[in-house]
Chains A and B, each alone.
Chain A
């Protein structure tokens, strides 16, 4: 199946700093990438949908100036959490979808555990 690689898997940062998370599709071209956040014992929450070469579409309640998404190539999307605060501590997961097909979105990156201290 399609492989999506996400880095880093864990990161601890100080409050007020920024953190960048990378999501790469290794064996297919990802025309669309999805970024999710998951708090403990809760469901996945879609943050934004990112299409290659265009601005990301953010879900209601997600601050686009705080969660910067760049999808500059067909194999890489990045999520930057700017001026991170302890309440941003969460599990962030990306998934990628290729052109056509019916469920290439089914494949996720490994996730990034962000802890803001």
Chain B
């Protein structure tokens, strides 16, 4: 079956760095997405990886290893507003998104 695994919750300190891991198993693979979702709001797009390697976008970076079925989202210089859930989603051979349950990130002062 198809499956996405990511930690349920993580805690980090303001100004620090945090890495949120995601492993996936899908029927075929057409890219991996990371989204940020604040409570009560729709997800917002953060990053997209389809090739191996690191994609950097400001304070956020995303890494993909297709051979390992693994990705991570790296958040630097954490701010209180980064407190949110971070959703990992892999797109399968039918171009359908398979979603993880999300990682709730708690930022402490």
Asked if A1 and B31 sit within 8 Å, CB to CB, the answer is: no
Asked if A43 and B96 sit within 8 Å, CB to CB, the answer is: no
- Bound CA span A32–B71, Å: 27
- Bound CA span A49–B95, Å: 11
- Give the residues in chain B near A6, CB-CB below 8 Å: 42
- Bound CA span A42–B44, Å: 16
Interface of B, secondary structure class, is loop
Asked if A44 and B43 sit within 8 Å, CB to CB, the answer is: yes
A105-117 Cβ-contact flags toward B at 8 Å (1 or 0): 1111111010000
Q: A102-B31, A103-B48 are in contact. Are A43 and B100 (CB under 8 A)?
A: yes
Q: What is the CB-to-nearest-CB distance from B97 to chain A, in angstroms, rounded to a whole number?
A: 7
- Bound CA span A105–B90, Å: 12
- Measured CB to CB, the residues of A under 8 A from B are 1, 6, 34, 42-46, 49, 91, 93, 102-103, 105-111, 113
